[in-house]
Amino acid sequence: MGMTMTQKILAVHAGMKEVHPGQMIKARLDLVLGNDITTPVAIEEFNRIGVKKVFDKGKIAIVPDHFTPNKDIKSAENCRLVREFSREMEIEHYFEIGRMGIEHALIPEQGLAVPGDVIIGADSHTCTYGALGAFSTGMGSTDMAVGMATGEAWFKVPEAIRIKLKGRLGEWVCGKDVILHIIGMIGVDGARYQSMEYCGEGVGSLSMDDRFTIANMAIEAGAKNGIFEVDGRTLEYVSEHSDRLPVIFQADSDAKYSRVIELNLPEIKPTVAFPHLPENTRAIDDVRDINIDQVVIGSCTNGRLEDLRMAAKVLKCGKVNPRVRAIIIPATQKIYLQAMKEGLLEIFIEAGAVVSTPTCGPCLGGHMGVLAKGERAVATTNRNFVGRMGHPESEIYLASPAVAAASAIKGKISSPEEVVG
Alpha carbon distance 284, 282 (integer Å): 6
- DSSP 8-state class, residue 146: H
Instruction: Write the CA distances from 390 to 362, 371, 373, 381, integer angstroms.
Output: 8, 5, 8, 14
pLDDT at 41: 96
Question: Are 251 and 297 in a shared domain?
Answer: no
Alpha carbon distance 104, 98 (integer Å): 17
pLDDT at 9: 98
- Given 265, 296, 324, the domain boundary residue is 265
Question: Are 343 and 194 in a shared domain?
Answer: no
- The reported pTM is 0.95
Residue 121 sits at the vertex; the CA angle it makes with 120 and 124, to the nearest 5 degrees, is 110
pLDDT at 100: 87
pLDDT at 286: 92
- Given 265, 282, 298, the domain boundary residue is 265
Please report which residue ranges of 295-364 form alpha helices under DSSP H: 299-302, 305-315, 333-341, 344-351
Tell me the mean pLDDT in the region 201-216: 97
Tell me the mean pLDDT in the region 330-358: 97
Question: Are 56 and 159 in a shared domain?
Answer: yes
Tell me the mean pLDDT in the region 134-150: 97
Residue 421 in domain = no
Question: Are 310 and 259 in a shared domain?
Answer: no
Question: Are 168 and 316 in a shared domain?
Answer: no
**How does DSSP assign 259-274, residue by residue?**
EEEEEEGGG---EEEP
Instruction: Give the domain CATH number at 389.
Output: 3.30.499.10
Which pLDDT tens digit goes with each residue over 45-102?
999 998 999 999 999 999 999 998 888 999 999 999 999 999 999 999 999 988 889 9
Alpha carbon distance 134, 9 (integer Å): 8
Tell me the mean pLDDT in the region 157-183: 97
Which pLDDT tens digit goes with each residue over 215-251?
999 999 999 999 999 999 999 999 999 999 999 999 9
Question: Are 194 and 239 in a shared domain?
Answer: yes
Is the pLDDT at 1 greater than 80, yes or no? no
pLDDT more than 70, % of the chain:
100
Question: Are 328 and 385 in a shared domain?
Answer: yes
Count the domains in the chain.
Answer: 2
- Given 265, 290, 307, the domain boundary residue is 265
Question: Are 74 and 215 in a shared domain?
Answer: yes
Domain span at residue 288 reads: 272-414
